[in-house]
Amino acid sequence: MRLLILGTGGMAAQHAKHFAAVEGVEVVAGVDVDPNRLAAFNAKHAIPNGFASLDAALAWGEFDAVANVTPDPIHHPTTMAALAAGKHVFCEKPLATDYAKALEMTEAAEQAGLVNMVNLTYRNVAELQQARSIVTAGQIGAVKHVEASYLQSWLVSKAWGDWRTESQWLWRLSKKHGSNGTLGDIGIHILDFASYGAGRDIAHVFCRLKTFDKAEGNRIGEYELDANDSFTMAVDFDNGALGVVHATRWATGHFNELRLRVYGEKGGVEVQHLHNGSRLRVCLGEDVETGTWREVQAPPVATNYERFAAAVRSGRTLEPSFRHAANLQKILDLATVTDRERREMATA
């Protein structure tokens, strides 16, 4: 597979690193509107070709697939152009800024018969994959209750930098700068973590969003700090199980932590994923009577990067697909509506 990386900031380095390590993948070009950033990126990753626009790259055309690492609002137009040119697409999350655009991208990819996947990075967590296998094999019985959380502390701690002075953080707090807050930034991750781990789709949602005062007048320079900092979400799943999903940037002491608890009629599983490691615990069989939890080692799993390369080789899309990401985007869109209207809404 000959791969083009579209956008060379932020996550692009991870794409270049991981794809270059996959046998049979050659990263042949980078694209960025900033010539200095593009030149530095290509030099660092030994990428031979660079283009100032996707149009120029498509005119060249010597590649099979695109890793789309552009800013969120740019995913839709660039992906649509790549699909129209017959290129497979591996897109960063979220697939689009709203469900309508995400669905258009999904239908275009499916109608063209092109491989389409979204980089929901926590699918790379072996413990999550193992937990899902346990649940879907019926070892905990019918799922009854799910708890999922995504905890960050960068509004409290300077461990990742100072949000008060650094644009890479400030834009995430401002709607005018393209942010939909915690819900838009990490909501898709924790929704995927919860629904994938539980092996169930979300059927109804009711969400509350909260934006806290963070500066005088809730503004720093050009940044109006009006994007949500925290959300809590009550959901039910397609089998009737109840769930609570929440996320915040105010979780003191938690740099970047995802937790999932799935409880069934015969047992339970718990996953904890931190920036420096993961663990999986289960309570099954006779242990249910004593409340004994045992840690389980999970075998290694293929990364999304490896799986996308395999999908292109086979010509068959693997999960997480555009359609799955579009369905998650629909839940995120509805979450905003439920907060405004103070009522539960169905996803179908």
The whole-number pLDDT of residue 147 equals 98
- When pLDDT is averaged across residues 15-31 and rounded to a whole number, the result is 98
pTM above 0.75, yes or no: yes
Q: Which residue intervals of the chain bear CATH 3.40.50.720?
A: 2-114
Check whether 81 has a pLDDT greater than 90. yes
Containing H/E element for 143? strand 143-152
- When pLDDT is averaged across residues 69-87 and rounded to a whole number, the result is 96
What integer best gives the mean pLDDT of the chain? 97
Phi, psi dihedral angles at 146 (to 5 degrees) = -130, 135
Instruction: Find the angle CA(303)-CA(243)-CA(268) to the nearest 5 degrees.
Output: 70
Instruction: Report d(CA 225, CA 231) in Å as an integer.
Output: 16
pLDDT tens-digit series, residues 317-338: 999 999 999 999 999 999 999 9
Closest CA to 260 of 238, 281, 240: 281
pLDDT tens-digit series, residues 83-114: 999 999 999 999 999 999 999 999 999 999 99
Count of Cβ atoms closer than 10 Å to residue 240 Cβ:
11
Check whether 125 has a pLDDT greater than 90. yes
The whole-number pLDDT of residue 151 equals 98
Check whether 4 has a pLDDT greater than 90. yes
The whole-number pLDDT of residue 223 equals 97
Containing H/E element for 125? none
List, as one string, the DSSP characters of 253-280: T-SEEEEEEEEESS-EEEEEEETTEEEE
The whole-number pLDDT of residue 152 equals 97
The whole-number pLDDT of residue 256 equals 96
- When pLDDT is averaged across residues 199-219 and rounded to a whole number, the result is 97
| C-alpha distance from residue 283 to each of 19, 321, 332 (Å) | 37, 32, 32
Check whether 149 has a pLDDT greater than 90. yes
Confidence category of residue 275, pLDDT binned at 50, 70, 90: confident
pLDDT tens-digit series, residues 167-196: 989 999 999 998 999 999 999 999 999 999
Distance linking the first and last C-alpha atoms of the chain = 37
CATH topology classification for 2-114: Rossmann fold (3.40.50)
Q: Which CATH number fits domain 122-304+316-346: 3.10.20.30, 1.25.40.390, 3.30.1330.60, 3.30.360.10?
A: 3.30.360.10
Q: Which residue intervals of the chain bear CATH 3.30.360.10?
A: 122-304+316-346
Closest CA to 81 of 98, 118, 56: 56
Phi, psi dihedral angles at 115 (to 5 degrees) = -65, 130
Let me know: does 226 contact 164? Beta carbons within 8 Å: no
The dihedral formed by the CA atoms of 191, 196, 201 and 206, expressed in degrees to the nearest 10: -20
The whole-number pLDDT of residue 10 equals 84
